[in-house]
Amino acid sequence: MDTPWKHTTVLLNEAVDALFNNPDAAHGEPDAGGQTYVDATFGRGGHARLILSRLAPQGRLIAFDKDPEALLEASRIDDARFSIRHQGFSQLGELPKASVAGVLLDLGISSPQIDNPARGFSFRFEGPLDMRMDSTRGSSVAQWLETAEQADIAEVIRDYGEERFAGPIAKAIVARRQERGPISSTTELAQLVADTVKTREPGQNPATRTFQAFRIFINAELEELQQALKASLDVLQAGGRLVVISFHSLEDRIVKQFIAAHSSDPYDRRAPFAAPRVMKLKALARIRPAAAEVAANPRARSAILRVAQRTPA
């Protein structure tokens, strides 16, 4: 059944253009090579459908996603070249080595996830305090907060939300739990944070950073990203493209540093007689959404797309 929650794919053409190391496919023509590509974050299939439109008949697209709703959307794609795995993108390394011509990682959460109150991602709607990407596995944010220590809560909010009021917010959460029981809804948490954080950047809800922190933590997003980036070096063939769209500084910093670490000067000046390191990546591009895209879809405003290419081993 269709839902009212629609998703607009960010940097759609830019990401898919960058994925193909083929001048024709990068400009809308079919990729004659018949290669295998990976959409490691299927979401609602915007990137996947455009990739499929450019694949040769013998090409292949493998998708990953943890969200059962994403798998339902993927089931609507009737194309023998397409398959999807109910896994997080940290499982990318299960693919054969040097078997893939391009890997796309879109690290943003989809609009249906944010806008559906039942998923518990948004402070704007009343809903269960869940935030799991895969609602069939693991603990929800509410379940974690039932027993988490104040110091651990503060550390999560500080490290994953870059929130300077992490200590007072954690203290308020624990105090509320002791007085009236644990927090179970999104609006309860949002109000508690608003009551605790007295100053905030203009136009930003006081709970923004806390919700981001809990979502990243409960889904182990940064750890999974690091695993997927490392795995991409193994599964990409020479000349294969790594394309990553990030939406906040923590993600982008990891991607930027990963690409830099594997595409820097192989000559180590501190050990001039040592064997040179082998460069595994070549940084190609850093792309931001055009003003027109941001105007049409404000959720694109923080997106950064980075592109790198696998060098010969």
- E strand or H helix that includes residue 62: strand 60-64
| Residue 125 reports pLDDT greater than 70 | yes
Residue 60, pLDDT above cutoff 80: yes
Q: What is the mean pLDDT of residues 160-169?
A: 95
Phi then psi for residue 232, to 5 deg, are -60, -35
42 close to 74: Cβ distance less than 8 angstroms: yes
Cα 74 to Cα 146: distance, rounded to the nearest angstrom: 35
Q: What confidence category does residue 26 fall into, taking pLDDT thresholds of 50, 70 and 90?
A: low
CB burial readout 179-192, b (16+ within 10 A) else e:
eeebbbbbbbbbeb
Above 80 in pLDDT, residue 113? no
Number of H helices and E strands in the chain, helices first, is 12, 7
Residue extents of the structural domains in the chain: 12-111+221-310, 134-218
Q: Judging by DSSP bridges, how do beta strands 36-39 and 100-106 pair with one another?
A: parallel
Is residue 235 within 8 Å of 95, Cβ to Cβ?
yes
Length of the chain: 313
Q: Is residue 1 predicted with pLDDT exceeding 50?
A: no
Q: CB within 8 A of 313, min separation 6: which ones? A: 98, 238, 278, 280
Min mean pLDDT across 7-16, 90-99, 234-243 is at: 7-16
Chain mean pLDDT for the chain: 89
> Using one digit for the tens of pLDDT, what is the confidence trace for 229-270?
999 999 999 999 999 999 999 999 999 999 999 987 655 666
Stretch 152-159: mean pLDDT, rounded?
98
Q: What percentage of the chain carries pLDDT values higher than 90?
A: 69
30 band by pLDDT with thresholds 50, 70 and 90:
low
Answer for the pair 82, 53: CB distance below 8 angstroms, yes or no. Answer: no
Specify the CATH superfamily of domain 12-111+221-310. Answer: Vaccinia Virus protein VP39 (3.40.50.150)
Q: In which band, very low, low, confident or very high, does the pLDDT at 161 lie, cut at 50, 70 and 90?
A: very high
If residue 238 lies in a helix (H) or strand (E), which one and from where to where? Answer: strand 236-246
From the centroid of its chain, how far is CA 244? 8
Top-level CATH class of 134-218? mainly alpha
- CA torsion angle for 189, 194, 200, 203 (degrees, to 10)? 80
